[in-house]
Amino acid sequence: MLIAGNWKMYKGPAAAAEFCLGLREHELDGVDVVVCPPFVSLGVAVQLLAGTEIAVAAQNVHWEDEGAYTGEISASMLRELGVYGAIVGHSERRQLFGETDETVARRADAALEAGLFVIACVGETEQERERGETEGVLRRQLSVLKADDNLVVAYEPVWAIGTGKTATPDMAQDAHAFVKVLLDVPVLYGGSVKPENAAELLGQPDVDGALVGGASLDLDSFTAICRAAIHS
């Protein structure tokens, strides 16, 4: 089981440090835990979690090693900082920042090539689900990715992200099983995961963990989700 906390654009270095110091105090054997702070807080998170089993990942990564790409960060820069992995293709990147299947694939390939662990996000919008296009969308989004020992997919139905609406455990299970037929990698569920629904979602046979947004910002709720993973 893998539980990853996606902090999005929350927690600058001071707040990240406070969270990481608190996280160190928790006994979380039996689950792989990853935190994904914003770029400016990666360094302090790496330093404060050194010597623990908790890994630090970025929320994005560029495909070139260096160059004239204002605002981007490369895999080798992340590696230099001691960062373990990166999220690619989050639906907020796709919807708000013009990320496409092609750019997601380039980011994933370059990050894997550089030795980073990659969490690649896929998922349908509400309209796409209503039109019965969920499987088609997943098929398209996954078609650009290649199975790799360092790749996991996060199935995040867009309508469930930050909305408080969660896919039912059956919906998540169906989507995860479908993803695994196309790409043989572990699949995390994401979209309004919280301590109250974590055990049921994580109890599904093809749910291998969770990518947690809002509920990962609070130490108590994040560690409660990690403990649910240990017991499922």
Residue with tokens 């050194």: 50
- Sequence-distant (≥ 6) Cβ neighbours of residue 48 within 8 angstroms: 17, 20, 21, 24
The only residue of 214, 225, 226, 229 in contact with ligand PGA, by rule CB under 6 A: 214
Identity of the residue, 6 or 103, whose beta carbon is nearer to ligand PGA in the bound complex: 6
Q: Is 103 in the site for ligand PGA (CB under 6 A)?
A: no
Among the residue ranges 18-26, 65-73, 132-140, 186-194, the one whose residues contact ligand PGA (CB under 6 A)? 186-194
**Secondary structure of residue 226 in the 3-state scheme:** helix
The only residue of 28, 46, 213, 225 in contact with ligand PGA, by rule CB under 6 A: 213
Active-site residue identified among 62, 90, 128, 176: 90
Among the residue ranges 12-20, 174-182, 195-203, 206-214, the one whose residues contact ligand PGA (CB under 6 A)? 206-214
The only residue of 1, 2, 3, 6 in contact with ligand PGA, by rule CB under 6 A: 6
The answer to whether 110 and 146 have CB atoms below 8 angstroms apart is no
Looking at 25-100, list the stretches that DSSP marks H as alpha helix, in order from N- to C-terminal side.
42-49, 75-81, 91-96
Identity of the residue, 47 or 167, whose beta carbon is nearer to ligand PGA in the bound complex: 167
DSSP string, 120-159: EEE---HHHHHTT-HHHHHHHHHTT----TTEEEEE--GG
**Catalytic site includes residue 80:** no
Distance of CA 152 to the CA centre of its chain: 9
Q: Is 209 in the site for ligand PGA (CB under 6 A)?
A: no
Q: Is 212 in the site for ligand PGA (CB under 6 A)?
A: yes
Residue with tokens 């649910």: 228
Q: How far is the CB of 39 from ligand PGA (least distance, A)?
A: 17
**Catalytic site includes residue 90:** yes
The only residue of 41, 192, 197, 221 in contact with ligand PGA, by rule CB under 6 A: 192
The answer to whether 88 and 116 have CB atoms below 8 angstroms apart is no
Residue with tokens 């169906």: 174
Positions marked catalytic: 90, 156
Residues engaged in binding ligand PGA (CB under 6 A) = 6, 156, 161-162, 190-193, 211-215
